[in-house]
Structure 1
Amino acid sequence: MEEELTVDQLAAKVGMTVRNVRAYAGRGLIAPPRLVGRTGYYGRDHVARLTLVRELLDKGYTLAAVERMMGELPDGELALGVFETLVNPWTPAEPEELDEFQLAERAGVPHDPAVIEQIVELGIAERLEDGRLRIRNPDLLRTGLEVIKLGVPMQAIFEMLPKLFAQADAVAKTYVELFRSTVWRDFTNAGMPAEGWPEIQRTLEGIIPLAGQALVAAFREAMAREIEEVAYEELGLNPKELPSAG
């Protein structure tokens, strides 16, 4: 039989307070429990839906927005599965916290408050109340530091990053709109049938890694063309005489 939980056990399992669980239940975000006398028992679907509510709120959605989304989603486990398929492959590594001097040491450069301010302005780091820095995407920072160690001036990287972010946004919008205007549009036009959600999840699970592979392949080809053109312009080398980039 399905494991059943009391409201206290449910709250502990999903990382909420009992008060919040009762509040979300009152808003219709979870179905009523199975009552035995005066005790309510909750199952897998309640756990899944509350987990999804918590994750959406943690990502900055308002409670009103969460209510609207939850009202259009299928049962909790299917909804949570689709959400995790969408989010998890693109979720950056866990944020890191360090002080300004540790960051300068990691970059191999002297500590400079002006540089720290630029990093904060670019959104790479945010200041905490204790003065330390919270690095939102450690992978991005790590990559930038490696480029600095190769000899590229830090200021040049700062000037390049806004362009990189804008181009990444454009590529992401292209892929998301492709899915939205085809598979998702057909699904919503059909009334978002409950039996169709597993197929939506399977499509997402396949399309996300393929999108990444296609982007890397296209980037490699574009880089090869750019390197050949620059080599010709700067060194006078005929691109046809260069070793094959493949």
Structure 2
Amino acid sequence: MTEIREYRREELARLAGITVRTLRFYRERKLIPPPRREGRIAWYDDHHLARLRTIAALLERGHTLTGIAELAEALDHGRDVADVLGVTPTEEEPVRLTPEELAARFEGQVTPDNLAAALDLGYLGTDGDEIVHISRRLLDVSSALVREGIPLAEVLAAGRRVREHVDALADMFADLVLRHTEEEDAVQRLRPLARSVVEAELSLALDRRLRRDGEHGEGPQRGQRPEGSGGPEGPSGSGAF
């Protein structure tokens, strides 16, 4: 088991790239959990350092301290990630991991920027010393893509694009159902049909893509983007942290 290092206040601030005054301010705003106390000495650990680096990355992405504080307070008090994010009941199974387990899954690519991106997308939250991923399936897919050599940052970027497309599909399906039924639970009851349509269409789309690649050679080489991959026709890959 990996030993968690501990730091005095000044050392933690230096490693996080902030001042001691800023660290005190974050503590007062409850952006970080309280330190372990040994007499008059406050000891912080790697979890505090990771939280501070995540705060910095979220601030760079335009999040406010108020919003970050609300998220941190809710998660530190053990609320379910889906509740914090305002997500309705789902078929997806959340997964709890330690920071070390998360780092091992993604081969050292859990940087502050990637962690902030995952939080921004709603994939990750924290509950005490644990990290909670909102979907076991997405966690398994994204870690498999990283093992295949795809950088985690690109997996997250693809996940953001996929999110945009599936949100549009969900709206289209819900609008279709609600136009033709008065049942309050119709969308929930018929969601397996929507999932089947998306899975079938994606499978057929991949078949078409593979046929095109076969007709024109072996397709793009490793490290190259296929022509038109950034166009409006849809994502060329998927996955989510």
Interval containing the TM-score (normalised by the shorter chain): 0.3 to 0.5
- TM-score, L = length of structure 1: 0.47
For CA contacts below 8 A with separation 6 or more, give which structure has more relative contact order: 2
Q: Higher helix share goes to which structure?
A: 1
Larger Rg: 1
- TM-score, L = length of structure 2: 0.47
